[in-house]
Every structure is written in C-alpha cells, then in structure tokens.
Chain A
Amino acid sequence: MKKNLIVFVSLLIMFTGVSCAKKPRFTIISGSENKSLEVLVLEFGRKERVEIEMSYSGSVDISQKLSKDNPDFDAVWPASSIWISMGDSKHRVRHVQSIMRSPIVIGVRKTLAHELGWIGHDVKIKDILSAIKSKKLSFMMTSATQSNSGAMAYFGFLYALLGNPEMIELSDLHRKDLKAGIRTILSGIHRSSGSSGWLKDLYLKKNYDAMVNYESIIIETNLELIRNGREPLYAIYPVDGLSIADSPLGYVNRSDDAKEKIFLKLQEFLLSKEVQQKILAHGRRTGITAVDVSAIDTTIFNPDWGINAGKILIPIKLPRQEVIREALELYQTAFRKPSLTVYCLDFSGSMTGDGIEQLRKAMELILDTEKSKEYLIQPSREDVIVIIPFSNQPLWQATASGANHYELNAFLTKLQNQQPAGGTDIYTPLIMALNTIKKYNLSHYIPAVVLMTDGESNTGAVFADLERAWRSLGLDIPIFSILFGNASRSQLDKISELTGGKIFDGRKDLLGAFKEVKGYN
C-alpha cells in the first residue's frame, strides 16, 4: 500500500510539476490611461499563474524606451500605434493589435461649455483657440513631449493655426506667425503632467475648468464627479479633428518563446468577447469594427456629458516622422509655457556615498542640455531653474535661466562641491521655494517645486508651517516629491495632498524619477 502510494505520489508530481514551479514573470509598460484596466490583466495573471507587472509611462516616453538598446520589458501598451512605429527602429515589436479605441476630447465643465455655446453645436479648434485667447477657458493638458493625449492635442492646435493645410511640413513649423499663436494657446495651460491618468486624479481633487483627455478618462472622471455631487465635464469633439487613440498591445521580442506564448494568450484574453464587453463597460470603444451604438450603456457613454459614440470621428492626419520629431522638439524648447522649477535637494549626512552620486548624476541629466535633449526634457530659453540644497536648514539658493548654459554648468560645479552632512528639515526649504516663486509673474510660467529627500524631517519647521505658507499664497503651486532612501512616505503624502502634487519613487531609479517629474512641469 505504502509503495502504491509512492507510485501515485510520484505520478502526481510528474503531472503537476509545472504548477509547483515558480510563477513566470511578465512585464508590461503601459500608458497611464490603461490603469483602470489593470484589474483585467491581473485577473488573467491569476488564472494563468503568471506574475504580471504593469508599469506606467507616457506614450512618447515608451517610444523612447523602445528605441534603446536593452528594453527591460516584455510588452508595450502605449495609447497610439504611432509611438510603436516611431520607437521600434530595431524591429523588436511583434503581434501588435489594437485592444480598444478612445478619441481624445476636451472635457469642459458643463456650465462653462453651455456659456461658451458649445452644447449642441459643432465646435472647431479655432473656437477653442478664441475661448483661450479671450481668457474664457483655461485647461489642463499633458506634456506633448511625454504623453500621447498632449501630443495629439498639440498637433490639432498646429493644424488649426496653420489654416488647416493638407499636411504640416517642416517649413510650416518655423513660420513666425505660428510661434506667437501656439504660445498664446499653450499659455492657457495652467497645469501640465506627464500622464493623462494623473490629470484625472488632479481634476477630482481640485476645481478646474477643463482638460484635454481621452473620452474614456472623461467618462471615468464624470462617474466620480457625479458620485461626489459635482458638476460633470462635457466632452467636446472638435469637428476638424483631434485624434483617436488605438491602444495597441505589442510583444517585445527578446527571444523567449515562453514569454511569447504568455503574450499571445494575454492578447487573446483581452480580445475575447467577454473581456471586450468588460472593457466597453469601462468607457472604451471595443469590437472589431466601430462601436455598435445600439448595444451601448448610456449611463457610461452618457449623452448628457456630450459623449457621442455614434458620431463619425475625423482625426487629424499626422505628419511624417521627421516633422513629428521636429514639432515635439519645438514644443519643448520654444512653444510651451515656460516652467519655473525650484529643486529642493537633500544634502543631509545620510546621502553620503552612493546617494549623493546618484543625485549629482540626476541633476546633470536635468541641467546638461545635451543629455536632457535625448529625453525631450531640455529647458527652453525662458525656463527658470532654482536650486536649494538643504540639510537641517537651507544651505544656499541659486537661480539660472534655461538660456544660460554657463549658469547651468555652474550649478553642476556647485553641487559637485557641496558635501552631505547634518540632519533633515524638508519644510523650511519648501517655504523658501514658495517665497521665491511668489516673486515671478506666474501668468508666464508653469510653476512647480520638486523636493528630493532621503530621510524623515525631524528638526526645524513642521508641516503646519508649510501648510500656512502654501495657503496664504493662494496660488496653485504643486510640490512634487522624489522619494529616496528612508524618506517618510506619510510626510510626502500630506504635501502632495495639500498642493496637488505627486510622489515619484526614486529608490529603484533616481535618474528615472527626476526625468519623469520633469514631464510634469
């Protein structure tokens, strides 16, 4: 009997051996607009016993990551297939298929949309432009050099300002009248970000007028606004076109057959009838062809919010790749609203060693225009950069203009010479940063404070001091925090909550965190 049991058990092990093995890992880098679909992907992971990790990045950033030599992810899921085509110069991406579609729209507070006369009428980009010019409309939009929705809206603006040519050419981008026009429009942006998903979170926290975002995100935002008894956004589909995101999921081939199989299964799962139905319920347009309007849930695709799933969507024609690249570079260096960024950098004793080296490298990326150019985060000539290194008190303060390479380089030398020592007070330098920003004419800048710290604040000022200072300014100045070492997340959370900021985790990749935060300002 005992031996029989052994035979049985060994047979059992033979057949179930696979399930005892360690779960395979599969990583996806995705646009933040897919965050609410992560549950579906994880459901697949549980079913198939695969550990799936989704990380989020702007689509333009995904495109850049794809073009690098050693991608460290198994699949890409940007907002639009153009970013795969542009980034995949090494032809690594296979099995690309669109999972769902969502047009990019402008969601405007419904009463404001009504005041502007936009409800029940065709709206053209030029109507939006004149509302911005006459200061009736200010809005939030992601950075065109980081995220798909910002980039597509930017191209929509370019077309309209150029008088809707058949195609944008390189020479058009350098027309003098264009620069003035596009700068006026982009001056209407009072908050920018590297990701469209985060704009939704910010909109829900504060009171704004409008945001450029995906139809699906406007739906998600509205569902929450209504739950909170707030006014919904009204979706405007400009007739002369914004764009349609097609959410392509592609496999990044690194010669691993097992991973390729996982990918194909995942893709099949997401495209299955049942899951497509669930994705549709998330406000995304699904199916092999344009959405069947009769089958749509109008509490989600709600006509009261301007959502019109049956309307013929006419996206803009995108220019050639070289023109796209040049347009993005001009956005970053000449067109966008200049940024005014104060960096508060932790030079306390605990940063000694590797920490300080990483910090210096990260600042080099920000300040050395040759390096920052590669990631389209280079400063424009009108950007203002302020640095406040601190330990248990602010150590010094220095200011540079984006146009002045000498000043930027001098920063690097100063940071090189500054040695870490002492305790940590994060609040006093932040108050100093706010007081510095106050002196500028903020209608010309998108302001932000970036705090990088590796420890808990335990001396000097306290949160209440910062809160008082921030509120007394009466300005919408976000404080973005980069978490490093043993920094206190709860302290940083409170700061983000107060100022409409965000925490970036720099523990794994400090350089990456600095790069990402730059996309938010």
Chain B
Amino acid sequence: MKKNYIMGLILLGAIFITAYGVKTLMQSEPPMNIKGLVGGEKYPFLENSEVKKILRKRYGVTLDYSKAGSIDMVLGKLDGLDFLWPSSQVALELFKLNQKEKNYKSEIIFNSPLVLYTWKIVAVALEKNGIVEKKGDTYYITRFKELINMVMEGKKWSEIGIGELYGRISIIPTDPTKSNSGNMFFGLVANMLIGDVVDSTSLPKILPTLTRYYRKLGYLEHSSSDLFSQFLQTGVGAKPIIAAYENQIIEFSIQNREIWPELRDTIIILYPVPTVWSAHPLIALNEKSKPLIKALQDDDLLRIAWEKHGFRTGMIGATNDPKVLQVAGIPASVEKVIPMPSAKVMDEIIKSLQKE
C-alpha cells in the first residue's frame, strides 16, 4: 500500500517536472513576436508550418497577423502594429501619401501576375478567333483589346463558335471598388484601351467605357478566393472567364493533389500580353520589424512560396522554374508587364465606378 502511495507521488511529481521543463525550455530563447496585417491570399503561406519553423529557427521571429483588405490596412490605424503586407503597389503608394511622417521601410517580397482563368472549350474558341495564341504550353492573350471590344459590343458566345454557352461574352473580375484583383483588372483594361499606362490626361477618354463595362457586370464577388472557388464549383456556364491571380491555381493544385490530374487539362490559364503585377510589398513600420524584410527573402522561403503557394519572387524578370509545379502552361517568367496606373488615377477610376 505504501509502495503504491509513493509510486503515485512519483508519477505526479514526474508530470509536474516534465511540464515545467518543457515550459522553461521553450522560454530559453524567446522568439521576437512581430504583429501585423496581411492580405488574405498570403494567409496559407504564413500558416505553412515549414515557413513558421524557418522564421523561428533562423531568424528568431514569430508572426502574429490578421487578415485585412489591402486598401483598408494602409489607410487604417497603425497602433500596436509592426508591419503591413498588402497585395499591391497601389496600396504602398496610398500608404506613402497618408502616413508621411513614419520611419518605415518597404520592399516587394512576392509578385504574382494577374491572369484570366477559363475552360478548355472557351480557350480553344478564343484561339481559333485569333484572340489567344499558344506558345509551348502557355496561352497568351495577344489581342486583349479586341477581346474587351467583343465584351463591350455584347457579342454572343455562339458568335465565336461556342454553341454550348448561352448569352454574351464576359470576363468576370471581383468588385474593383472592394477587392485588389478586380481593381487591378480595371487598371489593366484601362491601359489596354489607351495602349499605354493611363494617366490623368488620358483617363477622361476611356472613363465612360470603364463605367459601362462595370455596369454590364452587375453583382460581383468581394474576394478573389471566393471568385476562384465559384469558378471551379459552378463551372463554365456560370463563370466562363474570370480574372484572378496566377498563384491561386498553383496553390489549388497542391492542396487538391488527388483531383488535380482530372482538372489539369480542362482549366486554362490565359496570360494577358502585357499583364499587370500584383506586388506584395512588406511595409516594416518600426525597427523591430525591419529584419523581417530580409528574413522573408530567405532562399528557402522563396522556394516554398513558389513551389507550394505560387508566388513569384519580388524581382521582376527573375525566373521561377515551372517544372516543379503540376500545373500546365505556366511560363518560367512573365516578361511583358505594364505598370498599373498611379494610385491617384486608380482612385479616380474607383470613385467614378462607385457613383454608378
């Protein structure tokens, strides 16, 4: 009986010692906790356990982050925050305009081109009509302006040889007044209509066309991830062509390895020529968060960003090896890129769309 009693005590003691030991061990090198706001599309990357491990072990950093819209975060209050990680250069510009006095540092960590997603039957018809050209495995929209004109004229799918689809040709973005990818899509369309980067002088010429395009779209989704899942779930009839980020399909193919082989040849990525980049600039708001800029450019992190999440590295022109991916038609580099209109011009566009 006495023996059992002692055994019980030893057991209890052992539990407490182990618990205490684990706790002190964890406290021995406390990682620096950095707090910030990030665009939702980078959430899966930051949640990736390998990413967390590298940041903690190599750089002694843990991140505490919440999801926020790119525009909201740069215009909002910065109290208690160490960094912001929006998903566009325009957001960075807006930040600079609004937070002049801050001692910040910023650098673009990732890039992802804006692309269109469509279905095989649509891609084939567009190719036949000379809108799209296939080079190697990649589909390029070489006559994007013509495609926009078709949409503006209200041309029917049947007129370009797709009898299966009822109604008129459309390209569906997210709501440009609410979401970054839709905003970029309108920036790109504006540039295409002018044939150059739109500025304040050329904007009035195309603004009526942009607002008319917006009106044709009706109700739009507010987030690119919702739009992308609806594209997949409701199919070619509901969402024949959408505008979204390149990295979404890469991430999807990895997270859904089992079903990906069946989809690989039916979902087609169309690269507008030229396209616009969605840049992901990290804005370090204080000294504490500045080392994070370097940490996030760790070679292994950049490799994971590309292979698992589809983000290209921050330097334009750098190549990312598409062979490591399971997705067909992704080029090693996206060379023909046009800058987005300035934040001021985009702001004017958004304001006139909101009036609609």
How far is it, in angstroms, between the C-alpha of A288 and the C-alpha of B251 when the chains are bound? 14
* Cα distance, A239 to B167, chains bound together (Å): 10
Residues of B185-223 at the interface with A, using a CB-CB cut-off of 8 Å, are 215-219, 221-222
Contact call B233/A239, Cβ cutoff below 8 A: no
* 5 examples of A-B residue contacts, CB within 8 angstroms: A1-B1, A167-B218, A244-B234, A292-B262, A317-B218
Q: A289 to chain B: which residues have CB within 8 Å?
A: 232-233, 235, 259, 263
The CA-CA distance from A7 to B15 in the complex, in Å, is 13
B103 within 8 A of A: no
B236 within 8 A of A: yes
The complex places the Cα of A491 from the Cα of B237 at a distance, in Å, of: 50
C-alpha gap A168/B216 in the complex (Å)? 9
Is A314 an interface residue, CB under 8 A from the partner?
Answer: yes
Give the shortest distance, in Å, between B68 (CB) and chain A (any CB): 10
Q: What is the bound-complex CA distance between A292 and B154, given in angstroms?
A: 32
CB-defined contacts of B26 to chain A, threshold 8 Å: none
Query: In this complex, what residue of B is CB-closest to A86?
Result: B219
* Known pairs A82-B219, A319-B218; A4 contacts B256 (CB<8 A): no
**Cβ–Cβ contact B236 & A312, under 8 A:** yes
Which residue in B8, B168, B217, B222 is a CB contact (below 8 Å) of A3?
B8
Cβ of A243 to closest chain B Cβ, rounded Å:
9
Q: Flag whether A487 is at the interface (Cβ < 8 A).
A: no
Cβ–Cβ contact A246 & B234, under 8 A:
yes
- Bound CA–CA A239/B235 (angstroms): 15
Judge whether B315 is part of the interface by a CB distance below 8 angstroms: no
Q: Is the CB of B166 within 8 A of A241?
A: yes
Cβ contact within 8 Å between B164 and A85: no
Q: Say which residue of B5, B219, B236 sits within 8 Å of A320 (CB atoms).
A: B219
Pairwise interchain contact A313-B9, C-beta atoms closer than 8 A = no
CB distance from B354 to the nearest CB of A (A): 11
Q: What 7 A-B pairs have minimum CB-CB distances, sorted nearest first?
A: A314-B237, A7-B8, A318-B219, A312-B237, A290-B235, A4-B4, A1-B1
Which A residues touch B237, using CB under 8 A? 312-315
| In the assembled complex, A436 has its CB within 8 A of some CB on chain B | no
Q: Is the CB of B218 within 8 A of A312?
A: no
Question: In the complex, which residues of chain B have a beta carbon less than 8 angstroms from the beta carbon of A101?
Answer: 233-234
Binary interface encoding of chain A residues 156-172 relative to chain B, with 1 for a CB under 8 A from any of its CBs, else 0:
00000000101111000
CA distance A81 to B223 in the complex (A): 12
* B226 on interface, CB distance cutoff 8 Å: yes
Main secondary structure of the interface of A (DSSP, over half): loop
Assembly CA distance A324 to B220 (angstroms): 13
Determine if A149 is an interface residue (Cβ-Cβ < 8 Å). no
Q: How far in angstroms is the closest Cβ of chain A from B281?
A: 24
Q: Is A318 in contact with B218, judged by CB distance below 8 angstroms?
A: yes
Pick the residue among A1, A97, A290, A317 that contacts B234 (CB under 8 A).
A290
Find chain B residues with CB under 8 A from A7 CB. 5, 8-9, 11-12
Contact call A166/B164, Cβ cutoff below 8 A: no
Q: Are B165 and A312 closer than 8 Å at their CB atoms?
A: yes
> Is the C-beta of B158 less than 8 angstroms from some C-beta in chain A?
no
A51 at the interface (CB under 8 A from B): no
B230 within 8 A of A: yes
Interface residues of B in 1-22 (CB under 8 A from A): 1, 4-5, 7-9, 11-12, 15
Residues of B within 8 A of A81 (CB): 221, 226, 230
- Complex Cα–Cα for A290 and B237 (A): 11
Q: Determine whether the beta carbon of A314 is less than 8 Å from that of B218.
A: no
A290 touches B167 (CB 8 A): no
Residues of B contacting A288 in the complex (Cβ-Cβ under 8 angstroms): 229, 232-233, 256, 259
Q: Is the CB of B166 within 8 A of A11?
A: no
Q: Is B154 touching A3 in the complex (CB atoms < 8 A)?
A: no
A352 within 8 Å of B by Cβ? Answer: no
Interface residues of A in 312-337 (CB under 8 A from B): 312-315, 317-321, 323-324
Residues of B within 8 A of A8 (CB): 8
The answer, among B168, B234, B356, for a CB contact under 8 Å with A315, is: B234
Residues of A within 8 A of B11 (CB): 7, 11
Contact for B166 among A3, A239, A320, CB less than 8 A: A239
User: Per-position contact with B for A408-434: 1 when CB-CB < 8 Å, else 0?
Assistant: 000000000000000000000000000
Within 8 Å CB of B233, what residues of A? 98, 101, 246, 287-290
**Residues of B contacting A: mostly:** helix
CA–CA, A27 and B191, complex, Å: 49
Number of interface residues of B (CB under 8 A): 38
The minimal Cβ–Cβ distance linking B328 to chain A, given in whole angstroms, is 16
Contacts of B164 on A, CB cut-off 8 Å? Answer: 312
Say yes or no for A461: interface residue by CB 8 A criterion: no
Q: Which of B57-111 contact A (CB under 8 A)?
A: none
With an 8 A cutoff between CB atoms, is B238 at the interface? Answer: yes
| Cβ–Cβ < 8 Å partners of B5 in chain A | 1, 3-4, 7
* CB-CB contacts below 8 Å: A219-253 with B: 239-241, 244, 246
A315-B218 contact, Cβ under 8 Å, with A239-B166, A288-B232 = no
Whether the Cβ atoms of A317 and B219 lie closer than 8 Å is yes
B residues less than 8 Å from A312 (CB atoms): 164-165, 235-237
Does the CB pair B215–A169 fall under 8 Å? yes
Given contacts A7-B8, A246-B233, contact A85 B166 (CB under 8 A): no
1/0 per residue A305-317: CB within 8 Å of B?
0000000111101
Q: How far is the CA of A287 from the CA of B232 in the complex (A)?
A: 10
Contact B263 A85 (CB under 8 A): no
Closest chain A residue to B166, Cβ basis = A314
* Measured CA separation A97–B229 after assembly (Å): 9
Which residues of the other chain, B, contact A1 by a CB distance below 8 angstroms? 1, 4-5
Q: Is the CB of B219 within 8 A of A319?
A: yes
Residue pair A324, B9 in contact (C-beta under 8 Å): no
CB within 8 Å of B: which A84-103 residues: 85, 96-98, 101
Partner of B235, one of A82, A313, A317: A313
A380-418 interface (Cβ within 8 A of B)? none
CB distance from A290 to the nearest CB of B (A): 4
Cα distance, A246 to B238, chains bound together (Å): 12
Closest Cβ neighbor of B220 among chain A residues: A320
Cα distance A7–B13 when bound, in Å?
11
Which residues between 51 and 93 of chain A lie within 8 Å of chain B, taking CB atoms? 81-82, 85
Q: Taking each of A96, A239, A287, A312, which has the highest tally of chain B beta carbons within 10 Å of its own beta carbon?
A: A312
Q: Closest CB of chain A to B205's CB: distance in Å?
A: 23
Closest Cβ of chain A: how far from B141's Cβ, in Å?
Answer: 22
Would A167 and B238 count as touching, CB distance under 8 A?
Answer: no
Distance A290 CA – B168 CA, assembled complex (angstroms): 22
Say whether, besides A96-B226, A289-B233, A313-B237, A4 and B8 are in contact (CB < 8 Å): yes
CB neighbours of B9 from chain A (8 A)? 7
- 7 further contact pairs, Cβ within 8 A, besides A241-B166, A313-B237: A1-B1, A7-B9, A8-B8, A98-B233, A167-B215, A167-B218, A323-B218
- A7 shortest CB reach to chain B, Å: 4
Q: A169-B215, A246-B233 are in contact. Are A315 and B263 (CB under 8 A)?
A: no
Q: How far is the CA of A98 from the CA of B4 in the complex (A)?
A: 56
A1-34 vs B: 1/0 string, CB under 8 Å? 1011001100100000000000000000000000
Q: Does the CB pair A166–B168 fall under 8 Å?
A: yes
Measured in the bound complex, the distance between the Cα atoms of B236 and A317 in whole Å is 14
Query: Which of A3, A241, A317: most chain B CB closer than 10 A?
Result: A317
In the assembled complex, the CB of A2 is this many whole angstroms from the nearest CB of chain B, namely: 8
Residue of B nearest to A164 (CB): B167
Complex CA distance for A292 and B11, rounded to whole angstroms: 55
Whether A313 contacts B166 in the complex (CB less than 8 A), given A166-B216, A288-B259, A320-B218, comes out as no
